[in-house]
Amino acid sequence: MRVALFVTCLADAMFPQVGKATVALLERLGHEVVFPEAQTCCGQMHINTGYQKQALKLVEHHMRTFEPYDAIVAPSGSCVGSVRHQHAAVAERAGRRQLAARAGEVAARTYELSEFLVDVLGVTDVGAHYPHRVTYHPTCHSLRMLRVGDRPLRLLRAVRGIDLVELPDAEQCCGFGGTFALKNADTSAAMLADKLRNVLSTSPDVVSAGDSSCLMQIGGGLSRLSVETRPVHLAEILAAT
Amino acid sequence: MSTFLGMPVVAPRGVGQLRGDEPFPAAARTALANEQLRRNLGHATRTIRAKRAAVVGEVPDWEQLRLAGEALKAATMARLDTLLVQLEEQVTARGGTVHWARDANEANRIVADLVRRTGADEVVKIKSMATQEIGLNEALEAEGIAAWETDLAELIVQLGHDRPSHILVPAIHRNRTEIRDIFLREMPSVPADLTDEPRQLAMAAREHLRRKFLSARVAVSGANFAVAETGTLAVVESEGNGRMCLTLPQTLITVMGIEKVVPTWTDLEVFLQLLPRSSTGERMNPYTSLWTGVTPGDGPQEFHLVLLDNGRTAVLADEVGRSALHCIRCSACLNVCPVYERTGGHAYGSVYPGPIGAVLSPQLTGVEENASLPYASSLCGACFDACPVRIDIPSLLVHLRARHVEEHGPSAEAISMAAVSWVMARPSRFRGGERLMRLGRLLGRRRDRIAALPPPLSAWTASRDLPRPPAQTFREWWRSRNG
């Protein structure tokens, strides 16, 4: 299958290892990965901060970039959530009916990584080997916008050598929330403190998630605590052999 | 009844409690520093979350009930004008009197005049959000009329000269030791050896309140529902104190937001299943009082219904925003909200705190007067999942943020957002931007992390590190691999 990688702007610029892992994983499973180089950002930060007019340009650009592809995969629940639940609404609000319809079509072909693996490719055992103690944070948009459910956990349980430990209060937000982390930095930090306490209570080598943004928040807090636990994206674990 | 033509007005300033003294982030900072508050809230919301989850989980058709609740509310809003007139006709036909109040000032004036006409100088009150919203107690006090709250938690708030911090549990921010201290200080009849044992506290309140029930000639209530086809009002409560107020006094005055109307009697079937499980985590509500007009020789012989707008018509005018009017005040969204759990209700500055408050208050007052509230959320979506009438609060928050940006003039943030959008709209500019970001590699070289940045990014590094930007972006790697 030919798969267009929507790497997300954050992974592209800050966490290239997540993109590389996604490519390695999909190629190992026998699929052709293409990277439409025109891609930039889905516009979620603009939409969620209230800048819909500016976001509209990014939505249009995203449509043009990804329209030619039958399957679009991103290692992010949040960015796929924006494509699937916000793009058409942004176009609609601007009175751009046709763009909204196009956005709906692209959204229907856009998948978060765990959805794509389990639902489209029909695999849960991706042949990974990862001998570490891991706890998994399910991320709000994967859980409640995309309803990925236990797909990431099913994928992780099939990884050889992994010691997967359940995260207490896993479904609580880590406090990232895009510009929320800056506009309401104190509340965001209080949410993060509780998330970190829960993560560390499982004494993991690795805390994993399907979103680089949430991992940047959790990892940023862990780094401050000078503990050994490190943030690793789901794609990196699934790509490991 | 006068006919008002023109643009709907927002809730006026200087009366009631819909606006805070400071923006949410500042108020939140104060609340977050209060360790006792954090403990009280964490304990209370955790308990009520577990209760709700258990009783919701045992209803096989919960999702269908939610869909029904959502559909009923949407249909009601679509013909709210007709339903309100029908309600007025029915209440009037059954011996009640209906008053229309454009805003908080009009409503307070109407209630004060009605009380004064009875010759009474005090009223007993049933817990009501609408009267908190319009500051009725303060308005009555200014007229020399004492208003006694009879709901236990509202009583605690009133005696503590405090403000409610939760829709359902207004004293959620207090623990029982604090409550005992308030009772000892404020209740003249309370024994000096009062402990903080819940039963003792309840008995002290009971003795205090009984005297009020037996002497009061006027009661003031809110309403959970009003049935248009029959003119029936409904109050849902747990203690029975509300029923005392609804049955003992000679005169009953009900202040109700216009969005509380439901079309038919059978619609109550849906809401009376959704509400108790979502709010108190109970299968069935303990005291559900329903009354229709006046019944000679039984209960209050004079009944007044005050229909309150106070910005609601302005909310209705926004086709997206109006779903905030669907709220049945269960407060499930507060209890599951990670922001509310940590900051408490006072930080929102309005009697409507939490996620629903963040979308309702700014619409009632005009977005610009509560501009920080739509941003008081990480958009985690827990509120939408918990809402019994499926209000998509995260989408409403995003919608109100857009309204704020559209209505607000230029700002430093607007300029930087426009700049980022300009960069990201072209891949070539984006690549340039990424190269520029690599300058960040000059920072944090020693430990491979960035621990301090200038404003506004200092808000990030105050509590978190940032990884050092990578030497090679993904797209550079892709090019080198496939080049």
Three-state SS sequence of chain B: CCCCCCCCCCCCCCCCCCCCCCCHHHHHHHHHCCHHHHHHHHHHHHHHHHHHHHHHHCCCCHHHHHHHHHHHHHHHHHCHHHHHHHHHHHHHHCCCEEEEECCHHHHHHHHHHHHHHHCCCEEEECCCHHHHHCCHHHHHHHCCCEEEECCHHHHHHHHCCCCCCCCCCCCCCCCHHHHHHHHHHHCCCCCCCCCCCHHHHHHHHHHHHHHHHHHCCEEEECCCEEECCCCEEEEEECCCHHHHHHHCCCEEEEEEEHHHEECCCCHHHHHHHHHHHHHCCCCCCCEEEEEECCECCECCCEEEEEEECCCHHHHHCCCCHHHHHHCCCCCHHHHHCHHHHHHCCHHHCCCCCHHHHHHHHHHHHCHHHHCCHHHCCCCCCHHHHHCCCCCCHHHHHHHHHHHHHHHCCCCHHHHHHHHHHHHHCCHHHHHHHHHHHHHHHHCCCCCCEECCCCCCCHHHHCCCCEECCCCCCHHHHHHHHHC
- Shortest distance, CA B413 to any CA of chain A (angstroms): 10
For A190, which of B342, B382, B465 is closest by C-beta distance? B342
B339 touches chain A (CB under 8 A): yes
Q: Are B124 and B130 in contact (CB under 8 A)?
A: no
Question: For chain A, what is the largest distance between any 2 Cα atoms, rounded to a whole number of angstroms?
Answer: 53
For B385, which of A15, A85, A144 is closest by C-beta distance? A144
Stretch among A67-71, B409-413, B476-480 having the lowest mean pLDDT: B409-413
Tens of pLDDT, residue by residue over B338-368, are: 999 999 999 999 999 999 999 999 999 999 9
The pLDDT assigned to B1 comes to: 47
Which residues, numbered 31 to 90 in chain B, qualify as contacts with chain A under a Cβ-Cβ cut-off of 8 Å? Answer: 32, 38
Give CA torsion, residues B398, B399, B403, B408, to 10 deg. Answer: 0
The pLDDT assigned to B44 comes to: 92
Mean pLDDT (chain B, rounded): 94
Q: Determine the distance from the C-alpha atom of residue A18 to the mean position of all C-alpha atoms in its chain, rounded to a whole number.
A: 10
Percent of chain B with pLDDT over 70: 99
Tens of pLDDT, residue by residue over B76-95, are: 999 999 999 999 999 999 99
Tens of pLDDT, residue by residue over B190-227, are: 889 999 999 999 999 999 999 899 999 999 999 999 99
Q: With a cut of 50, say whether residue B11 has pLDDT above it.
A: yes
Suggest the residue from A46, A144, A186, A194 to mutate for an interface test with chain B (most B CBs closer than 10 A). A186
Going by pLDDT thresholds of 50, 70 and 90, the confidence category of residue B5 is low
Token digits for B305? 């219904």
The pLDDT assigned to B483 comes to: 72
Q: What is the value of ipTM here, to two decimals?
A: 0.97
As a whole number, mean pLDDT of residues B372-394 equals 98
The single-letter DSSP state of residue A59 is H
For A19, which of B378, B417, B474 is closest by C-beta distance? B474
- Shortest distance, CA A235 to any CA of chain B (angstroms): 14
Q: Are A152 and A142 in contact (CB under 8 A)?
A: yes
pLDDT by residue, tens only, chain A of 241 residues: 999 999 999 999 999 999 999 999 999 999 999 999 999 999 999 999 999 999 999 999 999 999 999 999 999 999 999 999 999 999 999 999 999 999 999 999 999 999 999 999 999 999 999 999 999 999 999 999 999 999 999 999 999 999 999 999 999 999 999 999 999 999 999 999 999 999 999 999 999 999 999 999 999 999 999 899 999 999 999 999 9
Q: Which chain A residue is nearest to residue B478, measuring alpha carbons?
A: A35
- Cα within 13 Å of Cα(A181), Cβ side: 25
Give CA torsion, residues B293, B299, B303, B308, to 10 deg. Answer: -90
pLDDT higher for B188 or B392? B392
Q: Are A38 and A65 in contact (CB under 8 A)?
A: yes
Give the separation between CA B338 and CA B383, rounded to whole angstroms: 10
Q: With a cut of 50, say whether residue B2 has pLDDT above it.
A: yes
CA dihedral sign, ordered B364, B366, B370, B374: positive
Tens of pLDDT, residue by residue over B175-185, are: 899 999 999 99
Q: pTM, whole model, 2 decimals? A: 0.96
The pLDDT assigned to A118 comes to: 98
Tens of pLDDT, residue by residue over B38-70, are: 998 999 999 999 999 999 999 999 999 999 999
Tens of pLDDT, residue by residue over B286-304, are: 999 999 999 999 999 999 9
Cis peptide preceding B188, ω within 30 of 0: no
As a whole number, mean pLDDT of residues B404-424 equals 90
The pLDDT assigned to A68 comes to: 97
